[in-house]
Structure 1
């Protein structure tokens, strides 16, 4: 049983498994995995996960639930996810505030229209997911590059969903930075507008500078300095929440990833763990 506070985490990726197994307990506080990639997995990968779960707390960040989609929620996936979380004593589960399926998997995270109807639709599905999982979940603000329809702002949409669904928020700081640049809004004002009590975790990741006014969320590079600055501000506003460094490809040496998780920890400590007005 892992009883220490979960503050600094690293994404559990199969491509990093061999190096993660060499980590000493306490190097990071927890590891975050996509449950769909590990449910019912045996062999070397399943054995590796079991070994890691003995040394590190596990958090879950789903990829396939399609909370905003038109098709019925995948109840089999929800049941499998619940059993997975019970097995590994997962305390934090999050999913994307998006959809990724419609008569088949789209293999991408698609933005939901920012409308009152969409708020009601996705909120009902979040409540259903919470009932099936037997716990509160957090939804993550996604990066998006074209908006299907905006009757309200992204901030207003997120606030409305959090209230209507009575769920929590996983704040992806890199996505805030990327969207603020691409859609011309103030990232600091966006953070200020989010309800403090709903934020229960954060993500930081790298992105690609396609152009001065176009950033692409890739999870394939080191975290940019501007994102570190925004993360520091987020820590001051929302307190020290469980924060994961996401890296999905172009893996550098583990020492470089641990230098970034150490920076997460340092910025959390500098913020003092308090939520500031």
Structure 2
């Protein structure tokens, strides 16, 4: 995990302090289609005009404080793709407010690449100034949900683009007053942000903790889902837990969840996540991208016909 520097330069004027403190609605966001996470292992294939990639997601912290030559990569990619920054270190659930320096750099980044939205995780990654190195789930109480929602709203206003929050996997579930879905719904009651629904995380959590993925979709405000993540994990055999490894093809259960979700909400983008065990032939990833596009476009056509 990349850790972003904290603090701000003395006397600096930040985007977080100058942005208009108004809500940025998630309605009316553009339709991006079927995208993939931009990684060094597949950059040549992504750059090839022969492959069909609609948009790219990049890791925010890889570019946030990067030198100009690294940022130039984004400028080049932007000529062909819409780009969305996906963060690891916003730590929206931490007791302390996000660093003004981080928010200022994030606001500059999204403006520089004209990102339609930016995303991060519904979790915390820092405690008492210490980087934890993992996406740590939050205690699921109404008070915490309320504070996280209000903090997310402040971050969204500071950056000036829609923020979408992602559900995370967790392997130990402490006794909490709210279910995972109830907690997400409560957070959304206190902000006008959107949701990045990681369907693989949903499938893994449902399997590991014995709840219904359909009931989860019944509980969260699916109309707030802007984007989904699709990936494959490992485990699940011989009483072992399923693991969110982003190392395998998208499993059938996750494709089924995508179809179910698209019956319920007009999702604007799907994103294929692969972080390891990349196939030698990009055609394997291209097949998944094409499959996601067919499902997404098909649901969009049906919805347009109903209207």
TM-score, reference length from structure 2 = 0.83
Whether 1:235 and 2:262 are equivalent positions in the alignment is yes
* 1:21–1:51 Cα contact (<8 Å) kept: no
State the Cα RMSD in Å: 2.1
Where in structure 2 are the equivalents of 1:71-220 lying within 5 Å?
Answer: 71-102=96-127, 103-211=129-237, 214-220=241-247
Are 1:6 and 2:17 counterparts?
no
CA shift in 2, pair 1:240/1:66, >3 Å: closer
Contact preservation (8 Å) 1:59, 1:93: yes
Deviation at 1:260, TM superposition (A): 0.7
Q: CA deviation at 1:111?
A: 0.4
Correspondence 1:29 to 2:54: yes
Corresponding residue number in structure 2 for 1:53: 78
Residue 17 of structure 1 contacts residue 48 of structure 1 at CA under 8 Å; is this kept in 2? no
Query: 1:208: Cα distance to partner?
Result: 0.8
Gaps of 5+ in 1: none
Structure 2 runs not aligned, ≥5 long: 1-28
Contact 1:174/1:203, CA 8 A, preserved across alignment: yes
How many equivalent pairs are there? 273
**2-structure distance, mates of 1:52, 1:162:** 33
What's the TM-score, normalizing by structure 1? 0.91
8 Å CA contact 2:226–2:267 kept in 1: the answer is no
1:225 to 248, 252, 271: 252
Inter-partner Cα distance in structure 1 for 2:236 and 2:138: 24
Aligned to 1:266: 294
- SS of the aligned residue for 2:247 comes to coil
2: CA distance between counterparts of 1:143 and 1:95?
Answer: 14
Q: Which has the larger radius of gyration?
A: 2
Tell me the equivalent position of 2:284: 256
Which of 1 and 2 has higher RCO (CA within 8 Å, sep 6+)?
Answer: 2
